[in-house]
A and B are shown apart, each in its own frame.
Chain A
Amino acid sequence: MAELSYRDAVAAGIAQEMERDERVVFLGEDIGAAGGVFKATVGLVDRFGPRRVRDTPISELAILGAAMGAAMTGLRPIAEIMFSDFLACCWDYVANEISKTRYMTNGQFTMPLVIRTANGAGSRFGAQHSQSVENWAMAIPGIKVVAPSTPADVKGLLAAAIRDPDPVLFFEHKSLYGMKGEVPDGEHVESLGHAKVLRRGDDITIVALAAMVPRALQAAEILASQHRISATVIDLRCLVPLDTQTILAEVIRTGRLFTVEENPRLCGWGAEISSIVTEECFYDLDQPVVRITTPHIPLPAADALEDAVIPSVGRIVQEVLRAADFRPRSANGL
């Protein structure tokens, strides 16, 4: 095991795959000579050369279009969109082209490409550089959606995304780039579509994604140590494919579900999970599902405001305690 930062795990994952497969190419703005604006791709152009690591103009349409055309003709491109907010500039490729062309052509193409992008708040960049937009992508049939919370998962899930025959939108969380963690030595590949139970408790289930995962874990610690509430914490890791089996199993066991979502309220991924849980294990629930989200507002820039609206450890604890008629299963014999 080596300790890597989340940002270094990005370069490590890309390098691992470029090393083993000549078809893997990488393009985006400032990714080569500059090493990426978040320094997540440092060293790749030196190692693999400008033929495989290509700096592009500020042309998001050309970046995603070129990645798609390359994927349709035998390459396995990785395209970087610098900030996930900029996906709005090239959403046609995500929503209409990359995701639908295999289906529309009755399977004449496969589309093995990865779109990497820096997602989420915490950097005080304001409403156009801080959004969590994974739920935009989740609404589109035909594209897989991944959002890792640890350096090990960055490397392993990125490798899996690059090897996947389908298009994957890979959300890196910009507030996690500095996070350090153990990453397995040697080749490391995870599989898409598997949530991870990070701790197992008996009273409640908390499902979180990306930067909300460490917050959910801290909240679970506080709930256990100060309130004798024992929480399962699930790191969702992928929104598509969605690991409903893991979620349903934990919800059935604990009877209570909380989602922690950085996205604005409406149509966040937690709404879909809430719907599935309600349809499929309603009679196992001891209370309504509680969604803890950013309010339905554009993100403000000031640190005080941003901190106030993104779900915090304190707010997660509060929401759990405030949930109506909360009695731990361990206390009432259920």
Chain B
Amino acid sequence: MSSAVNRRPAPSPAPSDAPEALAPETQRALYRLLVELRYTEKRAYDLFLQNLIKGTSHLALGQEAVAAGFGHAMQKDDYTFCTYRGHDHTLARGASITGVLGELMGRQCGLLAGKGGSMHLTSVEHGVMGSYAIVGAHIPIAIGAAWSAQYRGTRQAAVAFFGDGTTNIGAFHEAINMAAVWKLPAVFVCENNLYMEYTPIRSVTAVDHPAADRAASYGLPSIIVDGNDVEAVYRVARQALALARDGGGPSLIECKTYRHSGHSRADPAKYRPPEEVQAWMERDPVPAYRRQLLAAGMAESVLAEIERVAMAAVDQATETAKASPPPELASAFTDVWADGGAAWRN
């Protein structure tokens, strides 16, 4: 079987080569996604403070470029698998803001009609195959979808997003090994935000780059990308997706990024040095891309209009979700089984 796991070189051209400029409509689409994700996630935070969102939530403020870059690179029928920090990845595939905020608020209009909550956002019609709340659990599930695509010959790819902490859990290693041996059309995307929950990833990991340095174990090239550079993410995503579709097997990509808030609602993130936070805030992917586009000649009015439209969409979604009723109580007893019910006896 070892011949099935031939090591192959890094995709060419390497992401660091001076790339061709993206088309303006691509750039606008990427910026639109960035601001939509940013505004929605900030709104989620506000709704928490108003106690309109209960439970917990894991915000991805600061990590939008990964979701936007991949979300825009993926085809409509590709599969997204993400973690409990999955609001952005769900939105980036086109799921509605109302559906996301409604689910966080436990309303009927939520993507899961209130039965899943923040950590389980799913929208099959948009290729969002679930958000998984057990660290690493979705990586084997994603390779199953990739196996299915390979078996059915559909040229779909499955993309699994996960944090740096996931690279130390067994499911990560089992799944990437099997995906490499079976040459599955899968892309594994590590969002390395430097902290596994509260603890610095470097203090609990034997290598410097928790994902990229493990790639060699599975015959895969080491790929590291600036996860705060939406265009860099978009380019590497396109390469990895093309490789997957062409039968070249999986890729493991480490995106360096940073979350602006704590691990979850309960975490004020006091464990992070202020100078580190400051340095990363200066590299905030949303204003950074705005500056880049302005410098490249995009009109301020174009960007302002994208922002205005995104904010209006978030405002509208917020009002719609607030007006939505809580779920029907009877729904607690539906869809345990495929027949729609919950009966375990006759």
Contact = CB atoms under 8 A, between A and B. Distances in A.
Contacts of B112: 104-106, 108
B174 A93 contact: no
Interface in A91-112: 92-93, 96-97, 101-112
A137 to B, nearest CB: 12
B174 A61 contact: yes
Contact of A244 (B138, B181, B346): B346
Interface in B221-278: none
A311 interface: no
B140 A74 contact: no
A278 interface: no
Given A73-B144, A104-B115, A106-B113, A244 B335 contact: no
Contacts of A25: 151
A178 B119 CA distance: 47
Nearest to B117: A104
A62 interface: yes
B178 A66 contact: yes
A69 B144 contact: yes
B174 A57 contact: yes
Residue with the greatest number of chain B CB neighbours at <10 A, chosen from A60, A73, A244: A73
B148 A62 contact: no
Mostly, the A contact residues are mixed
A62 B175 contact: yes
Interface in B98-125: 111-113, 115-116, 120, 122-124
Contacts of A193: 346
B227 to A, nearest CB: 25
B178 A59 contact: yes
Contacts of B171: 61-62, 65
A66 B120 contact: no
Interface size bucket, B side? 35 or more
B73 interface: no
Given A106-B335, A245-B346, A64 B181 contact: no
B116 A106 contact: yes
B141 A72 contact: yes
B142 interface: yes
Interface string B181-198: 110000000000000000
B340 to A, nearest CB: 7
A229 interface: no
A70 B149 CA distance: 8
Contact of B144 (A71, A102, A110, A276): A71
Contact of B139 (A51, A65, A96, A108): A65
B74 to A, nearest CB: 15
Given A106-B335, A142-B336, A62 B345 contact: no
A112 B138 CA distance: 18
Interface in B122-151: 122-124, 129-130, 132, 134, 137-149, 151
B342 interface: yes
B334 interface: yes
Interface string B320-343: 000000000001001111111011
A242 B345 contact: yes
Contacts of A104: 112, 115-116, 120, 122
Contact of B175 (A61, A96, A107): A61
A74 B148 contact: yes
A241 to B, nearest CB: 6
Given A70-B147, A105-B130, A97 B335 contact: no
A73 B336 contact: no
A68 interface: yes
A67 interface: yes
B140 A61 contact: yes
Given A62-B178, A105-B130, A67 B115 contact: no
Interface in B286-342: 331, 334-340, 342
A159 B146 CA distance: 26
A101 B115 contact: no
Contact of B177 (A62, A64, A105, A106): A62
Given A57-B174, A65-B137, A241-B345, A102 B338 contact: yes
A240 B343 CA distance: 9
Nearest to B110: A106
Given A62-B175, A107-B335, A141-B344, A51 B151 contact: yes
Contacts of A106: 111-113, 115-116, 331, 334-335
A112 B338 CA distance: 9
Given A104-B120, A105-B115, A109-B124, A70 B144 contact: yes
B144 A72 contact: yes
Given A62-B178, A65-B175, A141 B336 contact: yes
A85 interface: no
Contacts of B129: 69, 72-73
Nearest to B334: A107
A243 interface: yes
A59 B136 CA distance: 14
A306 to B, nearest CB: 31
7 contacts: A66-B143, A96-B137, A105-B130, A107-B334, A110-B338, A165-B337, A241-B345
Given A75-B148, A105-B116, 19 more contacts: A25-B151, A51-B151, A62-B175, A63-B140, A66-B143, A69-B129, A92-B137, A97-B137, A97-B141, A103-B115, A104-B112, A106-B334, A107-B340, A108-B122, A108-B123, A112-B338, A166-B337, A241-B346, A243-B346
Interface of B: 79, 81, 111-113, 115-116, 120, 122-124, 129-130, 132, 134, 137-149, 151-152, 158, 170-171, 174-175, 177-178, 181-182, 331, 334-340, 342-346
**Which 5 residue pairs of A and B lie closest in terms of their CB atoms, listed nearest first?**
A65-B140, A69-B144, A165-B338, A66-B144, A59-B174
